[in-house]
């Protein structure tokens, strides 16, 4: 899922996203409630209509902002007090209001409000946090059902629960059990990709996915590098979201089948080849590395657009190839080859 925090995948239009065949994008409760406001969006017929995107949208609950904006919030049992990063004003997010806001946004998949604790942390702290997240999840589910019951219009939104538990196997198990027992349309693994080593993340995912229903989507939140994605599919994950392809594109890092390159680097200023010869996206079909190097250095905003288009194409293509490999029973083969060709740093031609 390409990330479109504030109602847009940065640097792209919905037309671009359709062209690369993105099937679902992500929006953010916290950011949209502050600006322009979820009620304003509701008055305009919801986020799809407002943003001109008519395919599915998943909205994150603001749980991650509980973590990333830690210095400007206060958590208690009932919810989170936030100080807006935009103007400093005070706002409150509760499990119930997070559900209400996402209902206003009209997303297709809503996430429960959770607490994403910083790592590393002690088992005691993680356990208290996961238990509160579970209580919040139950409240979110109840509020979700209220919407289902009371809305005059058909309320077709799905809701996902989030498993926490840090890097501790038993705590992940506890959180998974609590979350699954509430019952959701899908399950996410949260609280990872917050600075822990990759092997730790892989291990935790490996220990957690067996505890989640096989016939429902499993979503690993906030991950990751192309290698991370392949490795976590291997461990049973179905869905991902990550800012990496979009943010890094705007910062000049482009993913290729041979690994990442930094298009800013001097050698590319005279490189007439495409970003990735194996890629058939608009950027790779029409523009050279030399041109993209120039656009970036010149500060042209088109650089952000072409780079983002390519990186998202690379990510979505990778997922397509993964699906194909799985359907042909050749995933292990794919995984091995991917590791061989996708090096940490692509060779410069």
Partner RNA sequence: GGGGAGUUGGCGGAGCGGUCAAUCGCAACAGACUGUAAAUCUGUCGCCCCAGUGGCUACCAAGGUUCGAAUCCUUGACUCCCCA
CA atoms of 286 and 127, how far apart (whole Å)? 52
The Cβ-side half-sphere exposure at 11, using a 13 Å CA radius, reads 23
231 touching RNA, by CB under 7 A: no
265 touching RNA, by CB under 7 A: yes
Region of 49-57, 143-151, 175-183, 236-244 interacting with RNA (CB under 7 A): 236-244
CA atoms of 173 and 178, how far apart (whole Å)? 9
Min dist CB 153 to RNA, Å, is 26
301 touching RNA, by CB under 7 A: yes
Query: With left for phi above 0 and alpha for psi between -120 and 50, is residue 21 left, alpha or beta?
Result: left
Interface pick for RNA out of 203, 264, 321, 335 (rule CB under 7 A): 264
Min dist CB 204 to RNA, Å, is 13
182 touching RNA, by CB under 7 A: no
Q: Is 153 a catalytic residue?
A: no
Q: What is the secondary structure of 166-234 as a DSSP string?
A: TT-HHHHHHHHHHHHHH--SEEEE-S-SSS--HHHHHHHHHHHGGGS-TTS-EEETT---HHHHHHHHH
CA atoms of 314 and 255, how far apart (whole Å)? 7
Interface pick for RNA out of 25, 99, 101, 111 (rule CB under 7 A): 111
Q: Is 60 a catalytic residue?
A: yes
Min dist CB 116 to RNA, Å, is 2
The Cβ-side half-sphere exposure at 185, using a 13 Å CA radius, reads 14
Residues with catalytic roles: 60, 241
Chain residues that interact with RNA, rule: CB under 7 A: 3-5, 9-10, 26, 28, 31, 60-61, 63-65, 67-69, 71-72, 85, 111, 114, 116, 162, 188, 190-191, 193-194, 198, 221-225, 228, 241-244, 246-248, 250-253, 262, 264-267, 269, 297, 299, 301, 304, 345
């Amino acid at each position: 899922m390409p990330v479109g925090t504030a109602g847009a995948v940065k640097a792209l239009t919905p037309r671009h996203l359709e062209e690369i065949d993105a099937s679902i994008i992500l929006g953010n409760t916290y950011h949209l409630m502050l600006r322009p406001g979820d009620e304003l969006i509701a008055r305009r017929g919801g986020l799809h209509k407002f943003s001109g995107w008519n395919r599915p949208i998943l909205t994150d609950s603001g749980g991650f902002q509980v973590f990333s904006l830690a210095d400007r919030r206060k958590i208690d049992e009932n919810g989170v007090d936030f100080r807006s990063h935009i103007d400093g004003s005070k706002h409150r997010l509760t499990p119930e209001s997070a559900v209400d806001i996402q209902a206003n946004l009209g997303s297709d998949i809503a996430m429960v409000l959770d607490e994403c604790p910083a790592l590393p942390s002690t088992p005691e702290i993680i356990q208290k946090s996961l238990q509160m997240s579970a209580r919040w999840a139950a409240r979110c589910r109840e509020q979700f059902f209220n919407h289902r019951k009371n809305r005059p219009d058909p309320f077709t939104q799905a809701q996902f629960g989030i498993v926490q538990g840090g890097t501790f196997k038993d705590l992940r198990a506890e959180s998974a059990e609590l979350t699954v027992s509430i019952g959701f349309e899908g399950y996410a693994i949260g609280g990872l990709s917050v600075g822990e080593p990759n092997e730790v993340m892989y291990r935790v995912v490996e220990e957690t996915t067996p505890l989640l229903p096989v016939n429902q989507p499993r979503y690993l939140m906030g991950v990751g590098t192309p290698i991370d994605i392949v490795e976590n599919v291997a461990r049973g994950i179905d869905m991902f979201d990550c800012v990496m392809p979009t943010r890094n594109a705007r910062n000049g890092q482009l993913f290729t089948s041979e690994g990442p390159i930094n298009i800013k680097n001097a050698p590319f200023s005279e490189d007439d080849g495409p970003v990735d010869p194996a890629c058939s996206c608009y950027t790779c079909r029409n523009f050279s590395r030399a041109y993209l190097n120039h656009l970036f250095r010149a500060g042209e905003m088109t650089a952000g657009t072409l780079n983002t288009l390519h990186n998202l194409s690379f990510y979505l293509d990778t997922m397509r190839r993964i699906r194909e490999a799985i359907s042909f029973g050749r995933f292990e083969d794919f995984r091995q080859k991917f590791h061989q060709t996708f090096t940490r740093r692509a060779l410069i031609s």
